[in-house]
């Protein structure tokens, strides 16, 4: 299971320097595709559900200027960030504690191995019955789903701290709290970040999902209403916003990781360049 | 001497002892279930919100006996598995092409790198419009979500295939399909399996999500409809069936991985 989370983090592509180097050539073909798409749109050769890029851009800009987009995006991001923060914090804290104290890990291990492979989003309708249709139930679903991958990553990280480091710290008279703060957490940070990255991707998926099911505000709501009115340009504008937000959040987390983990990434990540 | 030998034998745990220990390790599950049962019977929470376990079990049994469970379960399974298997086939081919062919790499790599953090589920309303409300739009979305991890992992695996092995095979006259099946696939197999292991739970999650959004069949629909009509026991029974499918998928895949990749010692088994 720990291998699974590690593999999941591994799958997520990192920005590559090699890619940046040949950017000139790399961008040519996508640009050509975009141009062909635009031309087809101008000459009316596209089916109704595919909208020309210029029209998506114009609608997007219009919605941005009118403030409509920022309002919906803020409402979506509020739920998403709260769900991510609560779920990932709980997962990380419990995971690190379980990695240090064996009784805690003995309690959580059977539960996690039982629940982790279950698609927890299926409980969403029941959560709606329990907590109402508002923000709370959406945040609860995100919290539950994000807890598991972050727990597993943090547990794995805290478990794989080198014994020598722990012994040295204990020999030097470190208390349990100090040991966790100054030895376990720093060496588990790369794994913890992997868990947070998975949680971040999950939080965006759940943000859209919960809003498509029931909502009165948010980007998923824009998509659902646009679909009912067959306004495909508005739909694409909302999808574009979600894509930009998801992409930027991922890159922001990577930047933060690169900033906090100077020197630690080399040894841990050298295996899969 | 005899005493030492006897001691040695005594230290080996007896078979029932091992089993008892294994069962004892599962005590947290019993704790959680007991807490649920106590809360449900205490009357603090209405049974319309939290039914006791025996009611859920009874509902589960009734749905199984009436054939409802098999009907909806088969539909959910079918959607998940068709999309998932299509993603495996296309993903392995695409991943190989991305790793081995320069032009394909130039065209497709940006799509896979930049598309990865984007939730593909937001495209679902468009798929409904294009493919209709039925199975097709759901299968396409499952396929698309599963395609990303499998393709990217295959690409990584194929790239890290050892040059020397490829050169040796080429020197010996292997090319095309032979090189693919005999050298590239075995050396990329661990990475491909990692991608498949990520994609398998995704296939179930996406199928359930699409059934929650709009459908009249499938286990996700049963959960949504039963919750909306205040039949939580029925919803929980359907959720239990979903959980069992998810758990069964996970276990059978790790079993399959052990069989197929017997040379790989570091199987990511959950200890």
Residues of A in contact with B269 (CB under 8 A): 1, 3
Q: In chain B, whose CA is at the least distance from the CA of A129? A: B227
Above 50 in pLDDT, residue A271? no
Mean pLDDT, chain B, integer: 83
- Calculate the dihedral angle through the C-alpha atoms of A85, A90, A92, A95, rounding to the nearest 10 degrees: -160
At A20 the pLDDT is 46
- Confidence band, pLDDT 50/70/90 cuts, at residue B143: very high
- To the nearest 10 degrees (0 to 180), the angle between helices A68-100 and A185-213 is 140
- For residues A201 and A88, is the Cβ–Cβ distance under 8 A? no
Residues of chain B in contact with residue A250, where contact means CB-CB under 8 angstroms, are: 117
CA A270 to chain centre: 23
Task: Out of B118, B198, B212, name the one closest to residue A8 (CB).
Answer: B198
Please report the pLDDT score of residue B82 as a whole number: 95
**Interface residue B105 vs chain A (CB under 8 A):** no
Chain segment A165-212, per-residue pLDDT in tens: 888 988 888 888 888 888 888 888 888 998 998 899 889 999 998 998
Predicted local confidence at residue A7, as pLDDT: 53
Q: Best interface-test mutation with A: which of B118, B145, B267 has the largest number of A CBs within 10 A?
A: B118
The mean pLDDT value for A239-248 works out to 90
* Per-residue pLDDT at B168 exceeds 60: yes
Among A33-42, A141-150, B41-50, name the most confident range.
A141-150
Question: Taking a C-beta distance cutoff of 8 angstroms, is the pair A51, A236 a contact?
Answer: yes
Gap between the Cα atoms of B73 and B6, Å rounded: 55
Residue B233 has pLDDT above 60, yes or no: yes
When comparing pLDDT for A89 and A175, which is higher? A89
B118 three-state secondary structure: coil
| HSE-CB of B103 using CA atoms within 13 angstroms | 0
Residue A32 lies in a domain: no
Residue in the structure block whose two tokens are 């197929």? B260
* Domain membership flag for residue A17: no
CB atoms inside a 10 Å sphere around CB A169:
17
Alpha helices in chain B (DSSP H): 2-11, 15-24, 27-42, 53-66, 68-100, 102-115, 124-131, 135-159, 163-171, 176-179, 185-213, 219-228, 232-260
Q: What is the dihedral of CA A104, A105, A107, A109, to 10 degrees?
A: 160
**Token output for A99:** 């990695």
Percent of chain A's residues with pLDDT above 90: 25
Q: What CATH number corresponds to the domain at position A81?
A: 1.10.3720.10
For chain B, how many residues are written?
Answer: 271
Quick one: pLDDT at residue B263? 66
How far, in Å, CA of A218 to CA of A74, rounded?
8
| pLDDT tens digit sequence for B110-136 | 788 778 778 888 888 888 888 888 889
Residue A231 has pLDDT above 90, yes or no: no
Q: What is the CATH number of domain B53-260?
A: 1.10.3720.10
ipTM of the complex: 0.78
Q: How far is A214 from chain B (nearest CA, A)?
A: 9
Per the CB < 8 A criterion, the answer to whether A259 and A252 are in contact is no
- For residue A14, the model assigns a pLDDT of 56
User: Best-predicted range by mean pLDDT among A34-38, A52-56, A77-81, B224-228?
Assistant: A77-81
> Does position B45 have pLDDT exceeding 90, yes or no?
no
Burial of A98-107, coded b for 16+ CB within 10 Å and e otherwise, reads bbbeeebbeb
Task: Please report, to the nearest 10 degrees, the dihedral formed by the alpha carbons of residues B105, A272, B145, A18 taken in order.
Answer: -30
B221 with B215: CB under 8 angstroms? yes
**Number of domains observed in the structure of chain A:** 1
Partner B contacted by A117 (CB < 8 A): yes
Q: Which of residues A92 and B261 earns the better pLDDT score?
A: A92
Q: How much is the mean pLDDT over chain A?
A: 83
pLDDT reading at A74 higher than 90: yes
The shortest C-alpha distance from B270 to chain A (Å) reads 5
Residues of A in contact with B195 (CB under 8 A): 7, 11
pLDDT attached to residue A115:
87
- Quick check: A114 and B205 CB within 8 A? no
Domain ranges of chain B: 53-260
Give, in order, the Cα–Cα distances in Å from B36 to each of A141, A258, B32, B69, B154. 19, 44, 6, 24, 44
CA–chain centroid gap for A177, Å, is 30
Average pLDDT over residues A228-244: 88
- B 64-83: CB under 8 A from A: none
Average pLDDT over every residue of B217-237? 89
pLDDT digits (tens, 9 = 90+) for B46-102: 877 888 888 899 999 999 999 888 999 999 999 999 999 999 999 999 998 888 887
Mutate: best of B22, B39, B87, B119, partner A, most A CBs <10 A: B119
Q: Which domain holds residue A254?
A: 2-6+53-266
Q: Taking the CB of residue B39, how many other CB atoms lie within 10 A of it?
A: 13
- Nearest by CB to A111, from B32, B208, B235: name it: B32
- Is residue A229 in some structural domain? yes
State the residue for tokens 């509020």. A78
């Amino acid at each position: 299971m720990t291998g699974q989370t590690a593999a999941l983090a591994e799958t997520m592509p990192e920005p590559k320097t090699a890619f940046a180097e040949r950017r000139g050539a790399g961008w040519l073909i996508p640009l050509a595709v975009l141009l062909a798409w635009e031309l087809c749109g101008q000459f009316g050769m596209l089916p109704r559900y595919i909208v020309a890029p210029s029209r998506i851009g114009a609608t997007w800009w219009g919605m941005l200027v009118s403030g409509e987009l920022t309002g919906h995006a803020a409402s979506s991001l509020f739920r998403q960030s709260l769900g991510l923060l609560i779920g990932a914090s709980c997962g990380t804290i419990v995971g690190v504690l379980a990695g240090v104290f064996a009784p805690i890990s003995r309690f959580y291990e059977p539960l996690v191995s039982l629940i982790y492979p279950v698609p927890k989003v299926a409980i969403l309708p029941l959560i709606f019955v329990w907590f109402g249709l508002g923000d709370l139930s959406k945040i609860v679903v995100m919290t539950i789903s994000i807890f598991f991958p972050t727990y597993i990553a943090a547990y794995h990280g805290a478990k794989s701290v080198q014994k020598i480091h722990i012994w040295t710290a204990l020999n030097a008279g470190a208390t349990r709290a100090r040991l966790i703060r100054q030895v376990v957490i720093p060496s588990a940070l790369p794994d913890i970040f992997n868990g947070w990255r998975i949680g971040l991707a999950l939080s965006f998926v759940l943000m859209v999902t919960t809003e498509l099911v029931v909502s009165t505000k948010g980007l998923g709501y824009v998509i659902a209403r646009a679909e009912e009115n067959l306004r495909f340009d508005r739909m694409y504008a909302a999808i574009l916003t979600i894509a930009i937000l998801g992409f930027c959040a991922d890159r922001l987390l990577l930047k933060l990781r690169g900033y906090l983990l100077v020197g630690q990434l080399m040894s841990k990540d050298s295996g899969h360049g | 001497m005899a005493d030492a030998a006897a001691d040695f034998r005594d230290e080996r745990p007896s078979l029932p002892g091992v089993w008892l220990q294994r069962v004892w390790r599962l005590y947290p599950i019993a704790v959680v279930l007991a807490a649920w049962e106590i809360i449900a019977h205490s009357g603090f929470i209405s049974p319309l919100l939290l039914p006791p376990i025996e009611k859920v079990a009874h509902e589960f049994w009734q749905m199984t006996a009436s054939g409802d469970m098999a009907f909806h379960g088969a539909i959910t399974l079918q959607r998940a598995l068709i999309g998932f298997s299509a993603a495996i086939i296309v993903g392995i081919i695409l991943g190989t092409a991305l790793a081995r062919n320069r032009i394909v790499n130039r065209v497709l790599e940006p799509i896979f790198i930049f598309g990865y953090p984007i939730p593909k589920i937001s495209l679902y309303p468009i798929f409904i419009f294009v493919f209709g409300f039925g199975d097709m739009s759901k299968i396409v979305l499952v396929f698309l979500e599963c395609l990303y991890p499998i393709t990217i992992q295959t690409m990584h695996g194929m790239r890290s295939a050892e040059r020397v092995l490829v050169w040796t095979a080429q020197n010996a006259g292997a090319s095309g399909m032979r090189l693919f099946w005999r050298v590239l696939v075995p050396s990329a197999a661990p990475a491909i399996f990692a991608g498949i292991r990520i994609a398998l739970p995704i296939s179930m999650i996406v199928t359930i999500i699409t059934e929650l959004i709009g459908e009249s069949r499938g286990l996700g629909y049963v959960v949504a409809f039963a919750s909306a009509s205040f039949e939580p026991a029925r919803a929980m029974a359907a959720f239990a069936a979903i959980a069992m499918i998810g758990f069964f998928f996970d276990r059978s895949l790790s079993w399959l991985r052990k069989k197929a990749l017997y040379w790989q010692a570091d199987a990511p088994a959950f200890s």
